[in-house]
């Protein structure tokens, strides 16, 4: 028989492990706090406060749901009684160097929209400047109580003296793994120096390294199978730097050729032109001529693709030095689509050029995808008066830096952006957000804010100039390939090669180019 006197110790035996657990947690917390940097301690205190008061706060901002049901089978309440149960999303709270991360499980009808509606109230309750909400994955909503926005930390690559650092490896394609972590959270108290720069990432024409998100994770934009991209944003918010980052990454690749058109007409692109197959400033006639050349290349490639690549889509095999991706970048693109509708001679001539340019760009975007032609349009405003909708709406990729109006943001990102106030480009007008863009990124729900990498002009210029020897004329490359194929067919026929049938249908049909005919004469 158990000694009844010992039973009084039973609650103690049960409670002791629980008490030990809580004491251990408390002590671990204290040690963490003591060891944390001064700048991180307020975040830890804030995180503890949010965790401790979550249930009360959730009720106050309306993040609860009442469920009606029957009592549990062990309850003494009559089974016929309808009882109400309050459901509150469970949360996981962690302190970050920039604020507090709260991952909340969705409950019933409490999902992304309800958390977004409550974001302003939560910011007031938690006494933080901003609460950003996003859907992390189905069933989990991520809230960021931001005290110091990581997206406002500039990513400019500078040396200790503040000058832009051009590493010796700038011209090499480094052997970093695609999965290499980009910028993780910096050591507490240290200023983040930004993500890995474009020249430090594995270069791949099919992937566009855009920058890093608020957590420091790399964000990419689809480039494979894309024929059109629009980059819009107010003047001075980072469009050109963003394009520089892309060009810098592609410059050392012989499987990419550039066509650079600078509608600004200034010196911005002067040195980049060295690496370009075709280049032009704000001269409408020259721009039209270059686009006509690219258009002709597109038509020729359409005719030749099966014969040369053995497939209907270049992206199935990827770009190569002999069939390079032709990247057409048109900065300040609206310059070339604008029609004055004047009645005098010069205005009519310019309007005719604008119509022709519009038609060529529209066709390149609509038909250039499978033959490896990609057009990137940069513009301050992507509304229909600046970029014709038949061009803009056919672009598969849209990226927006700061915008002053909702109309401009909707024009570039579509009406869905109104449902994402946290990622709305109108929020990015603060100068701290220069270089931050809103975009739809692959495998991420909704819109993502990305701090793009700042590539100073001088760095882009150096890399472009040093890779100038890689410039080739894709039309000539195509011609060479077709002639080589024609020759091999001829040899096979005459020399009794693999094609030895008398019926003409047995020989593959090769439509000679104009130049090929001239050559053989
Ligand atoms: N990612 C970035 N991080 C920090 N600063 C940046 C970033 N991108 C650009 N900047 C700063 O913003 C300035 C303007 O950038 P940029 O010339 O790319 O703007 P833009 O949008 O192309 O302007 P415009 O339409 O007038 O050509 C740069 O000189 C640079 O100082």
Q: Please identify, among 116, 150, 184, the residue that sits at the C-terminal boundary of a domain.
A: 150
d(CA 232, CA 409): 9
How many Å apart are CA 154 and CA 131, to the nearest integer? 21
- Do residues 479 and 462 share a domain? no
Note whether 312 and 369 are same-domain residues.
yes
Q: How far is ligand 1, taken at its centre, from the CA of residue 234, in Å?
A: 10
For residues 468 and 479, membership in a common domain is answered with no
108 CA distance to ligand 1 middle (Å): 44
If you write DSSP's letter for every residue of 87-100 in order, what string do you get?
Answer: E---EEEEE-SSEE
Separation of alpha carbons 29 and 41, rounded Å: 11
339 and 225 share one domain: yes
Residue 119 lies inside a defined structural domain of this protein? yes
303 and 241 in a common domain: yes
Distance 190 CA to ligand 1 centre (A): 25
Question: Would residue 501 count as lying in a domain?
Answer: yes
Domain assignment present for 401:
yes
- Please report, for the domain that includes residue 122, its CATH number: 3.30.980
The strand pairing partners of 140, in sequence order, are 105, 137
Q: Whose CA is nearest to atom 10 of ligand 1?
A: 238
Q: CA-CA distance, 143 to 428, in Å (whole number)?
A: 19
- Residue that is last in its domain, among 111, 131, 150: 150
| Distance in Å, CA 61 to ligand 1 centroid | 39
Asked, for residue 5, whether it belongs to a domain, the answer is: no
**Residue 276 confidence (pLDDT):** 96
Residue 517: per-residue pLDDT: 40
Distance 238 CA to ligand 1 centre (A): 3
Is 168 strand, coil or helix? Answer: helix
Per-position pLDDT tens, the chain of length 521: 556 667 777 777 878 888 898 899 889 988 988 888 888 899 999 999 999 999 999 999 999 999 888 888 888 888 888 888 899 999 999 998 889 999 999 999 999 999 999 999 999 999 998 898 988 889 999 999 988 887 887 544 333 333 333 333 332 323 223 233 333 333 333 333 444 455 555 678 888 889 888 877 888 888 999 999 999 999 999 999 999 999 999 999 999 999 999 998 888 888 899 999 999 999 999 999 999 999 999 999 999 999 999 999 999 999 999 999 999 999 999 999 988 777 787 888 889 999 999 999 999 999 999 999 999 999 998 888 889 999 998 999 999 999 999 999 999 998 889 888 888 999 899 999 999 999 988 777 788 999 998 888 888 889 999 999 999 999 999 999 988 888 887 777 666 554 444 444 444 444 444 443 444 33
Shared domain check, 339 and 467: yes
Residues 421 and 484 in one domain: no
How many separate domains does the chain show? 3
What backbone torsions phi and psi does residue 313 show, to the nearest 5 degrees? Answer: -135, 120
Q: Quote the DSSP letter at residue 274.
A: G
Residue 379 marked in a binding site: no
Task: Determine whether 110 is exposed, middle or buried from the number of CB atoms within 10 Å of its CB (0-12, 13-18, 19+).
Answer: buried
Q: Indicate if 239 and 91 belong to the same structural domain.
A: no
Substitution candidate for ligand 1 out of 240, 267, 272, 453 with most atoms within 8 A of CB: 240
Are residues 99 and 53 both part of a single domain?
A: yes
- How many residues does this entry show for the chain? 521
**Span from the CA of 436 to the centroid of ligand 1 (angstroms):** 10
**Ligand 1, atom 15, residue with closest C-alpha:** 238
Residues 209 and 224 in one domain: yes
- Does 419 reside within a domain? yes
Q: b/e for 421-455, b at 16 or more Cβ within 10 A?
A: ebbbbbbbeeeebbbbbbbbbeeeebbbbbbbbbb
Residue 105 domain-assigned?
A: yes
- pTM for this entry: 0.73
Distances, alpha carbon 324 to alpha carbons 205, 254, 294, 309, 375, in Å: 10, 7, 13, 12, 14
233 annotated as a binding-site residue: yes
Tokens 């000058």 locate to 163
pLDDT of residue 287: 96
* Spacing, Cα 239 to ligand 1 middle (Å): 6
From 195, 213, 232, 238, the mutation candidate for ligand 1 (largest count of ligand atoms within 8 A of CB) is 238
312 annotated as a binding-site residue: no
Give the pLDDT score at 494. Answer: 67
Q: Label residue 325 exposed, middle or buried (CB < 10 Å: 0-12, 13-18, 19+).
A: buried
Q: What is the ipTM of this complex?
A: 0.95
In a domain, 182, yes or no: no
Query: In terms of domains, do 383 and 498 share one?
Result: no
Q: Is residue 146 part of a domain?
A: yes
234 is known to lie in a ligand binding site: yes
Query: Within this chain, do residues 466 and 514 fall inside the same structural domain, yes or no?
Result: no
Pocket test for ligand 1, best of 241, 377, 431 (most atoms within 8 A of CB): 241
Contact yes or no for 65/110 (Cβ under 8 A): yes
- Who lines ligand 1 at CB under 6 A? 154-156, 233, 235-241, 380, 434-435, 452-454
Quick one: tokens of 220? 């990419």
- Strand, helix or coil at 223? coil
- What is the layout of strands, in order, in the sheet containing 99-105? 91-95, 99-105, 140-146, 130-137
* Protein residue with its CA nearest to atom 9 in ligand 1: 238
* Rounded alpha-carbon distances, angstroms, from residue 430 to 120, 403, 426, 433, 434: 19, 11, 9, 6, 8
Is 81 marked within a binding site?
Answer: no
Give the model's pLDDT for residue 202. Answer: 61
DSSP letters spanning 371-408: GTEEEEEEES--STTTS-HHHHTT-SEEEE---SSHHH
Residue whose CB lies within 8 A of the most ligand 1 atoms, among 386, 434, 457, for a mutation test: 434
**Binding site annotation covers 239?**
yes
Show which of 150, 169, 187 is a domain's final residue.
150
* Ramachandran angles phi, psi of 412, nearest 5°: -90, -40
CA of 513 to the centre of ligand 1 (A): 44
Say how far apart CA 232 and CA 230 lie, in whole Å.
6
Sequence-ordered list of residues with C-beta below 8 angstroms from that of 400, at least 6 positions apart, any chain: 231, 232, 233, 382, 409, 412, 413, 425, 437, 438, 439
317 touches 309 (CB < 8 A)? yes
Q: How much is the pLDDT for 461?
A: 87
Q: Whose CA is nearest to atom 23 of ligand 1?
A: 236
Nearest to 462 by CA among 118, 178, 171, 131: 171
Q: What share of the chain is helix, strand, coil (3-state, %, to 5)?
A: 45, 20, 40
Whole domain around residue 461: which residue ranges? Answer: 204-472
DSSP string across 59-75: HHTT--EEEEEPPPTT-
Q: Please give the distance, rounded to the nearest whole angstrom, from the Cα atom of residue 240 to the centre of ligand 1.
A: 6
Choose which residue among 435, 459, 461 to substitute to test ligand 1 binding: the one with the highest number of ligand atoms within 8 A of its C-beta.
435
């Amino acid at each position: 028989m158990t000694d009844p006197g010992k039973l009084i110790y039973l609650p103690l035996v049960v409670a002791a492990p629980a008490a030990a657990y809580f004491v251990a947690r408390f002590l671990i917390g204290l040690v963490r706090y003591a060891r944390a940097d001064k700048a991180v301690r307020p975040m830890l205190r804030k995180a503890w406060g949010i965790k401790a008061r979550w249930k009360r706060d959730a009720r106050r901002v309306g993040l609860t749901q009442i469920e009606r049901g029957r009592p549990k089978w062990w309850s003494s309440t009559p089974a016929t009684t309808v009882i109400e149960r309050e459901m509150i999303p469970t949360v996981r709270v962690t302190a970050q160097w920039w604020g507090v991360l709260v991952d909340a499980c969705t409950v019933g009808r409490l999902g992304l929209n309800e958390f977004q509606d409550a974001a302003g109230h939560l910011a007031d309750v938690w006494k933080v400047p901003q609460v950003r909400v996003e859907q992390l994955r189905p069933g989990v909503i991520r809230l960021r109580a931001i005290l110091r926005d990581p997206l406002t930390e500039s990513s400019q690559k500078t040396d200790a003296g503040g000058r832009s650092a051009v590493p010796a490896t700038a011209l090499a394609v480094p052997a970093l793994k695609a999965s290499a972590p980009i910028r993780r959270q910096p050591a507490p108290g240290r200023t983040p120096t930004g993500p890995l720069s474009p020249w430090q990432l594995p270069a791949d024409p099919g992937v566009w390294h855009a920058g890093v998100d608020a957590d420091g994770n790399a964000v990419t934009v689809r480039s494979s199978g894309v024929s059109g991209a629009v980059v819009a944003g107010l003047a001075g918010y980072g469009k050109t730097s963003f394009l520089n980052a892309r060009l810098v990454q592609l410059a050392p690749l012989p499987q990419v050729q550039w066509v650079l058109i600078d509608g600004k007409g200034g010196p911005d692109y002067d040195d980049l032109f060295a690496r370009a197959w075709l280049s032009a400033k704000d001269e409408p006639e020259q721009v039209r001529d270059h686009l006509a050349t690219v258009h002709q290349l597109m038509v020729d490639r359409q005719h030749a693709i099966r014969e040369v690549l053995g497939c209907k889509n270049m992206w199935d095999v990827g770009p190569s030095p002999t069939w390079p991706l032709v990247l057409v970048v048109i900065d300040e693109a609206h310059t070339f689509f604008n029609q004055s509708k004047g009645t005098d001679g010069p205005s009519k001539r310019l309007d005719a050029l604008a119509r022709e340019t519009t038609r060529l760009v529209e066709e390149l975007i609509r038909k250039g995808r499978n033959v490896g032609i990609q057009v990137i349009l940069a513009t301050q405003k992507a509304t229909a008066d600046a970029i014709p909708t038949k061009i803009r709406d056919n672009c598969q990729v849209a990226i927006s830096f700061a915008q002053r109006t909702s109309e401009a943001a909707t024009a570039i990102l579509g009406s869905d952006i109104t449902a994402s106030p946290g990622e709305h480009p109108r929020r990015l007008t603060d100068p701290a957000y220069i270089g931050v863009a809103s975009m739809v990124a692959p495998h991420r729900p909704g819109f993502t804010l990305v701090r793009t990498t700042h590539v100073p002009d001088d760095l882009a210029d150096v890399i472009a100039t040093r890779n100038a020897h890689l410039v080739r004329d894709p039309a000539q490359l195509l011609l060479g390939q077709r002639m080589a194929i024609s020759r091999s067919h001829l040899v096979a026929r005459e020399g009794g090669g693999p094609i030895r049938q008398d019926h003409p249908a047995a020989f593959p049909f090769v439509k000679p180019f104009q130049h090929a005919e001239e050559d053989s004469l």
